[in-house]
Each structure stands twice: as C-alpha cells, then as structure tokens.
C-alpha cells in the first residue's frame, strides 16, 4: 500500500468542495447540520486557502 499527500491548488477547489460534502454528511449525525434546498451542505472552503501558512492536502491511497 502506498500513501501520498499532495497539495490541493485553488484551481482544484470544486473537486475538494465535492469531496467535502461526504465529510459533512458523515459528521452531520453529530453536528446536526442540514442540507440546503439544492441538497448540499453549505460550506465555504475558501477559508482553507486564506493566509500564508495554510496548505490544503489530499491523501491518495494505492492498495
């Protein structure tokens, strides 16, 4: 098994936003967050790129 951590660029924001919906769904049991009228969780992921010291990573696992 190989695990890689790659930085996510701002150009890949839509992909990350789509994946983040699964994260929000999994934790909605504990956070009681509701979906909007479009069936999505309201999430502002621009926050992840604010400031000089923030880096967003995605994890890839090859099995």
Confidence of residue 63 (pLDDT cuts 50, 70, 90): confident
Angle among Cα 59, 24, 39 to the nearest 5 degrees reads 125
Per-residue pLDDT tens for 9-44?
999 999 999 999 999 999 999 999 999 999 999 999
Query: Which phi-psi region, left, alpha or beta, contains residue 20 (left: φ > 0; alpha: ψ -120 to 50)?
Result: alpha
| Predicted local distance difference test score (pLDDT) of residue 51 | 85
Distance between CA atoms of 41 and 62, rounded to whole angstroms?
29
| Predicted local distance difference test score (pLDDT) of residue 40 | 96
Structural domain tally of the chain? 1
Q: Which token pair is 9? A: 């660029």
Per-residue pLDDT tens for 43-61?
999 999 998 889 999 999 9
CA 27, 55, 10, 5 dihedral sign is negative
Print the domain residue range for 19: 2-62
- Looking up tokens 């009228």, which residue turns up? 37
């Amino acid at each position: 098994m190989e695990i890689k951590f790659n930085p996510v660029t701002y150009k890949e924001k839509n992909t990350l936003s789509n994946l983040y919906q699964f994260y929000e769904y999994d934790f909605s049991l504990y956070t009681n967050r509701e979906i909007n009228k479009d069936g999505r969780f309201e999430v502002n992921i621009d926050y992840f790129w604010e400031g000089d010291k923030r880096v967003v990573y995605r994890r890839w696992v090859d099995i």
